[in-house]
Amino acid sequence: MVQPGDEITPGLEGTPTTVKRYGPLARLNHWVVAFSLIALALSGLALYSPYLFFLTNIFGGGQTTRWIHPWIGVLLFVSFYVFFAQLWRANLPNRDDVTWLVRFKDVVAGNEERLPEMGKYNAGQKIVFWGMSALILVLIATGIVIWQEYFSVYTAIETQRWAALLHAAAAIVIILIWITHVYASIWIQGTMRAMTRGNVTAGWAYRHHRKWLKQLTGLRRKGPARANAVESTKAAKHLGL
């Protein structure tokens, strides 16, 4: 699915053609989410185990960590769901995602030719997106229940204990998802620049998200087969592919 702002920029002499993937505000929001998650993981682990209490020094001590942790959670919730509103349609699953998952061995082996052409997001990215969407809801809901300063009087102790257990379990899972997300971003060369510069090379888009690139170039528009073939050739030459 092509989103507003996605566009191809022809390269100047000696520079590659690039494809815009994220605007400045989307990138800023992404990094707010990322740093909020890191801060929540560190402060949460510091409060969870006495062995990790030394991590409270990062936030100015135990009391400050206890006070700031839930507020960082609110920041994460708001910033992520601004992101969610922009991206949820492009992350809806389809049949190609099922094929991608069935052929996951080829994904790991880098056998792109055996995989279906993917849109702007592949099945792995969609799992990360929807997994984080659900877990952040669980974390904010359980976090409010155990937020002693404001909400402890509204729920029973037993409810708060179950909420604390669920909160910890959701936190562990979202940390694992986040680590997977970061690893995949580093493992697939050229991915990080999407969140630093806002664009990727046309070669990267052709290899990993070919359907999206074709949608951008208009290759998937309906029309006579011969006309599409001519158009495809022109666009491929234009992109230097």
- Within 8 A by CB and 6+ apart from 193, the residues are 199, 200
Q: What is the rounded CA–CA span in Å between residue 94 and residue 124?
A: 12
Q: Which secondary structure element, helix H or strand E, spans residue 79, and what is its range? A: helix 62-87
Q: Which of 131, 141, 136, 148 is nearest to 163 (CA)?
A: 141
Q: What is the helix (H) or strand (E) element at residue 42, kind and residue range?
A: helix 24-48
Give me the active site residues, please: 181
Question: What is the C-alpha separation between 123 and 174, in angstroms, rounded?
Answer: 17
Sheet holding 7-9, edge to edge: 7-9, 18-20, 199-201
